[in-house]
Amino acid sequence: MLKKNLLVSLIMVAGLAVGASASAQVYVGGTVGQSKWNVDCKEAGVTCDKSTNAYKLIGGYNIDKNFALEASYFSLGKMQANAKIGTVNASAEAKGTGFELAGVLKHDFENGFGGFAKAGIARVKADTTANVPTVFKLSNDTTSTQPVLGLGVTYAVSKEIALRGEIESRRIKIGDDKNTVNTISVGLQYAF
């Protein structure tokens, strides 16, 4: 009798698990926005352009109504610095790209609005170049694993389509230095 009850219980739990996974949704999306690189450009004669365009492509899986897993490819854009050294104009730039995996805690409010918070890890690549004409040209790539945090809101336009806005913060390693890049973006997501 005990074995029969155990078997029935296991079948019921398996049925609940299958039912829960069948109601889970896969979604894809993308966002565009602005990144701000928090780098120090306080040297005399140095000018920096630390704000740049950014984008992200998203794939997600809703485990239940309050939790999802997201994988993303992102571009943090390009930070540029210029300096005059005597009569020579020197320049440097850094580009950031990467992949991330994050857990998303979300909640649906009234009238189609929702909010979410996410935390995860990102594999971030920084491509850097420096150029002092007629003296040297240098390039370097640094790849590191860094944390990513974010907060956002969604608005359901229909059952499948939602508008998405978010603020994210990532670390990026350039050589031996770690810097923070903050991104504000808006976009769409489509649920299957």
Which phi-psi region, left, alpha or beta, contains residue 135 (left: φ > 0; alpha: ψ -120 to 50)? alpha
d(Cα 104, Cα 65) in Å, to the nearest integer? Answer: 11
pLDDT category at 18 given cuts 50, 70, 90 is: very low
pLDDT tens by residue, 115-135: 999 999 999 999 988 888 877
Do 128 and 139 contact (CB within 8 A), yes or no?
A: yes
d(Cα 166, Cα 19) in Å, to the nearest integer? Answer: 31
pLDDT tens by residue, 45-102: 778 888 999 999 999 999 999 999 999 999 999 988 888 877 888 888 999 999 999 9
CA angle 149, 109, 101 (to 5 degrees): 25
d(Cα 40, Cα 123) in Å, to the nearest integer? Answer: 23
Which domains are assigned to the chain?
24-191 (2.40.160.20)
Q: Calculate the average pLDDT of the chain.
A: 86
Q: Hunting for tokens 């009569």 — which residue is that?
A: 87
Do 48 and 41 contact (CB within 8 A), yes or no?
A: yes
